[in-house]
Structure 1
Amino acid sequence: MSEHEIHSEVDGLSLTELLERYATLRDTLLGLEAERDALGARIKAALQSGQQAETELYRAVLKISRRVDYPIDRFRDTFGDAAALEAATIDRKKAEALAGAGDLDPEQLRELAVVKETQALVLQPKTR
């Protein structure tokens, strides 16, 4: 449905009717998102156990993302308060920049790193 068609459809509605339509759409979307999340959790669990899932159009795969964090207490114990304050107020990139500039020992920084993995369910289109 084009934006023009949507505007035509709702132009004659009162504010109360617009609100009712908006609430209906919002509630529908929330219900669909909850169902999608529940289905996704079950599919992810199945994929993690070694099962495979695919349809005519899609193959379900798990995409793994990694995020590196530095625990603030260990970082401060290793590099001191000033470096912890400077790095913690910015982010991981700032800590790595300090190591790259020679202000922090890169090897000690690597030893402090905590890598967190997350898995996202991805629908991979099958080639046609």
Structure 2
Amino acid sequence: MTDAGPDDMRELDDLPALLERYATLRDTLQGLEAERDALAAQIKAALLSGQDAETDLYRATLKVSRRVEYPLDRFREAFGDAAALEVASVDRKKAEALAKAGDLDPERLRDLAVVREVQALVLQPKTI
């Protein structure tokens, strides 16, 4: 058999051992991801309150992205059931395409738009 990875990897014909190792790695990664997410939430809250966070290697910043959404109830009131049904299972691109095609009033659609901000924690290397 070919080398499947690290020296401690089991032979491929020992499927229960491979499954056990896989489960261990999956559980470890899930635990690490949960811890990372909790730490990121704490750091984001600190940054939003005006604090700075940095180490010798990294500086933490928040990257803000915006997402436009149209509340379904308001969209339905403005454009009716048929238009709401047509765009309800798709994203804003479908509604904007209908407006561009002339099927919806672009100005009314723009008035309905709700912009949501999402902050993502970004580590910027300080060594460059």
1:46 aligns with 2:46: yes
What TM-score does the superposition give when structure 1 sets the normalisation length?
Answer: 0.85
1:34 aligns with 2:34: yes
Q: Secondary structure at the match of 1:54?
A: coil
- Report the number of matched residues: 126
Q: What amino acid is the match of 1:124?
A: Q
Q: What amino acid is the match of 1:56?
A: D
Q: Secondary structure at the match of 1:60?
A: strand
Change (3 A) 1:85 1:17: same
* RMSD of aligned Cα (Å): 2.1
Q: Is the 8 A contact 2:10 2:17 kept in 1?
A: no
In the TM superposition, residue 10 of structure 1 has moved relative to its aligned partner by 2.3
In the TM superposition, residue 16 of structure 1 has moved relative to its aligned partner by 2.4
In the TM superposition, residue 90 of structure 1 has moved relative to its aligned partner by 2.8
In the TM superposition, residue 12 of structure 1 has moved relative to its aligned partner by 2.8
Higher share in helix: 1
Q: 1:60-79, aligned counterparts within 5 Å?
A: 60-79=60-79
Q: Is the 8 A contact 2:10 2:18 kept in 1?
A: no
Deviates more, 1:45-54 or 1:88-97: 88-97
How far apart, in 1, do the equivalents of 2:55 and 2:6 lie?
Answer: 36
Q: Which runs of 4+ in 1 moved over 3 A?
A: none
1:106 aligns with 2:106: yes
Q: Secondary structure at the match of 2:5?
A: helix
Q: Secondary structure at the match of 2:117?
A: strand
In the TM superposition, residue 122 of structure 1 has moved relative to its aligned partner by 1.0
Q: Secondary structure at the match of 1:124?
A: strand
Q: Secondary structure at the match of 1:117?
A: strand
How far apart, in 1, do the equivalents of 2:108 and 2:69 lie?
Answer: 14
Q: Which runs of 5+ in 2 are unaligned?
A: none
Change (3 A) 1:20 1:50: same
Q: Secondary structure at the match of 1:10?
A: coil
Aligned to 1:122: 122
Q: Percent identity?
A: 73
Q: Which runs of 5+ in 1 are unaligned?
A: none
Q: 1:17-32, aligned counterparts within 5 Å?
A: 17-32=17-32
Q: What amino acid is the match of 1:46?
A: A
